[in-house]
Chain A
Amino acid sequence: MADLTLTNVKKVYANSVEVLRDINLDIKQGEFIVFVGPSGCGKSTLLRMISGLEDISAGTLEIDGQVVNDIPPALRGIAMVFQSYALYPHMSVYDNMAFSLQIAKENKANIDKQVRKAAEMLQLTPYLDRLPKALSGGQRQRVAIGRAIVRRPKVFLFDEPLSNLDAALRVATRMEIAALKEKMPESTMIYVTHDQVEAMTLADRIVLLSNGNIEQVGAPLELYEQPANVFVAKFIGSPAMNILPVTINKVGSQTNLAIDATTSVNLPLQLDKKEEGKKAQLGIRPEDFTMTALHKNDVLISGEIAFVEALGESTLFHVKTELHDELVIAKFPGVWDIQRGDALALAAPAEKLHLFAADGNNYSQ
């Protein structure tokens, strides 16, 4: 019952910088949507426009088919959890959670019931009388979430809710948020983060933003397996995907790419005749490489190892190649007895290769 539709939404701040350009997005009830992107790309701005804290410069925002551009935050049926928690420092946990209901002048018994229910759900019952400053970071975050739950909103908005927590707590709280979503399947949640792991683990669908544009919308694995463009390809996955300059040799039932003068590779991809001879970009994920020997004819890339990062569970090789200045990264599970300065030959299965046009868009879409 809470569908969100953004149509041609723009944001221009007073200094006339266009922060968001032409955002179109449909969000269905019950979805867990994550806005992800590098910092400064406009994620918070978009979320705050949905919440009503920022004006929408152009375009419309509909909630359940109702244009709400001019409706203030409180009447949009949304609740927001802020990065800094934004707890009211002078109120007890109980009062923090009850505040919105008190403002809405609900009756006391009802308020009490809602607050206690939410506190129970978040294991906050023993702390109801405390002031926020007497709580740990994780507990504060839970109070902030509880404050949102109490309002029974149609849409939950989270703005980087985990960034102020330390690493261990972040993982635990992430699981709690996932569990919370399970308990409230009918609530829509929109979650902003710059951390791709949070995005991948939490989202039903990820909205990847950069520079005020939506780069791609899709399920996490969709973004991983079929990145719409080089930006998405490099943003999702760690270490980032290697991008190599190539030339399209021949099109047909397969596409033949020249990697260098002597190496070429065939991709299971049918391209238009006019693409022949054009420059393109070949993407290979570090974890998709396989190791091979120099003289074998499946060698895709070879070069000297510039340095090795042994992480225990896997090993990263940074390889200096003749192809371009950037080092190619290859990732293999386990520990390897290969040193800096050694030569390394890499192969990759053709179906794991991604081909992007010179302008960055994925050829397969």
Chain B
Amino acid sequence: MLTSSSKKSSLTWLVHLSVFLLVLIWTIPTAGLFVSSIRDKDQLSVSGWWTALASSEQKVVYRTPVPDSQIQEADQYVLKGNLFADSNASVSAFGFSSLKPDAFVVGSTATMKKGKTLTVQANGDYVVTSPVPFTKRGQRIFYTADVPPRFTLDNYREVLGSEGLAKSFINSLTVTIPSTVIPILMAAFAAYALAWMRFPGRALLLVTVVGLLVVPLQMSLIPLLKAYNFIGESFGVGSKTYLGIWLAHTAFGLPLAIYLLRNYIAGLPGEIIESARVDGASDFDIFRKIVLPLSFPALASFSIFQFLWVWNDLLVAMVFLGNNEEQLVLTGRLRELLGSRGGNWEILTASAFITILVPLAVFFALQRFLVRGLLAGSVK
């Protein structure tokens, strides 16, 4: 008895440990993205994000300001200042040529050509002296510094402003909200008809919907692209319009929406609907006053699905909205940044985090409905 229970508890520990490891593997990538997006961009590019809390060693080149600030002390011209603008890093070594950037320890005085000297203190104070006045550009100082961790929202400020993410954010909303509401309306009506109204061809329609559930989007793209271009040309409107993408997203979301909602609505108690019919309600009344309020959970789960799907979609947006600057949605913007700013991780991480912020918020707030919808959609 004793052995079996101790075996059991060690097994439980194993389960705890494995789940913990799996959760770690699944969350670390996103955590890394977030941490990186709020790091100082100079630190980001030289050290892994997991060292974000440790101070990092940076090798930096500094150029003293123009010689206007020089003062004359005895026979020497002197430039004074501090290497750091605001942070409280500490210098460990310095030098004056790129060949030996860390030739001197802090506090010592380096002698340069033409009798010039350079002294750098640990706190960044430097003194450059010269027997002749400084004329041309400032003096270059190479130093190695331990910079304390620095977190900043500068990256976000930059991508929202100059990289155009704020605009894309609004574009994404403009695409997503109608693309979520319209298919719900259309699908709910259709689902009600398929569940509770009698008309010829009902069974065939249902089978069609089930069949279309799995048809890949790719099958529709080329003919639709051609049709959109044709319509755009013949009516003299652009072929890349919000209306166009709403309709596309609506249609592409419809099979799942109709399927999910029909299953739910068909499961409502028939006597309630008959009772309403006896009470004199037309099908439109029944739909509005009985079915719609009672289907709230199903409507909620589908809207979350559709919202996430549209918000995260790249393919439909690229094909039907194109990549013109004015209408670029977030995913499209990300793709563009990936091309143009491929190495600038501070830009990529901040942008990516902005794009996933809304879906993540929706996800955590409404997870319950999402799960319910998933289950209704696949397990029967």
Contacts and interface: CB of A to CB of B under 8 A. Distances in A.
A293 interface: no
A53 B279 contact: no
B294 A90 contact: yes
Contacts of B356: none
Given A82-B271, A83-B271, A103-B285, A88 B278 contact: no
B293 to A, nearest CB: 5
Interface size grouping (class) on chain A: 20 to 34
B272 A88 contact: yes
A140 interface: no
B295 to A, nearest CB: 10
B275 interface: yes
A49 B278 CA distance: 12
Interface string A100-143: 10011000000000000000000000000000000000000000
A292 B281 CA distance: 65
A104 B279 CA distance: 9
B269 A53 contact: no
Interface size grouping (class) on chain B: 10 to 19
Contacts of B285: 103
B325 interface: no
A78 interface: yes
Give the residue among B272, B278, B285, B293 with the most A Cβ atoms within 10 A: B278
Give the residue among B277, B279, B285, B290 with the most A Cβ atoms within 10 A: B279
Given A86-B272, A89-B294, A103-B285, A51 B279 contact: no
A205 interface: no
The majority secondary structure among interface residues of chain B is: helix
Contacts, number: 55
B280 A103 contact: yes
Contact of B279 (A52, A83, A89, A151): A151
A84 B278 CA distance: 15
A86 B269 contact: yes
B269 A74 contact: no
Given A86-B269, A90-B293, A90-B294, A53 B274 contact: yes
Interface in B231-289: 269, 271-272, 274-281, 285, 289
Contacts of B290: 88
Interface string A69-87: 0001111001110111011
A74 B271 contact: no
A332 interface: no
Interface string A43-60: 000000001110000000
A258 B290 CA distance: 66
B48 to A, nearest CB: 55
Interface in B324-345: none
B266 to A, nearest CB: 16
Interface string A204-223: 00000000000000000000
Contact of B278 (A79, A87, A90): A79
A226 to B, nearest CB: 36
B276 A99 contact: yes
B275 A82 contact: yes
B276 A88 contact: yes
A72 B281 CA distance: 10
Nearest to B279: A100
Nearest to B285: A103
Nearest to B268: A89
Contact of A103 (B269, B279, B293, B294): B279
A84 B279 contact: no
Contacts of B271: 82-84, 86
Closest 4 pairs (CB-CB, A-B): A74-B280, A100-B279, A86-B271, A86-B275
Interface of A: 51-53, 72-75, 78-80, 82-84, 86-90, 99-100, 103-104, 147, 151
Given A75-B280, A100-B280, 10 more contacts: A53-B277, A53-B278, A80-B274, A80-B275, A84-B271, A88-B275, A99-B276, A99-B289, A103-B285, A151-B279
5 contacts: A52-B278, A53-B277, A88-B276, A90-B294, A103-B279
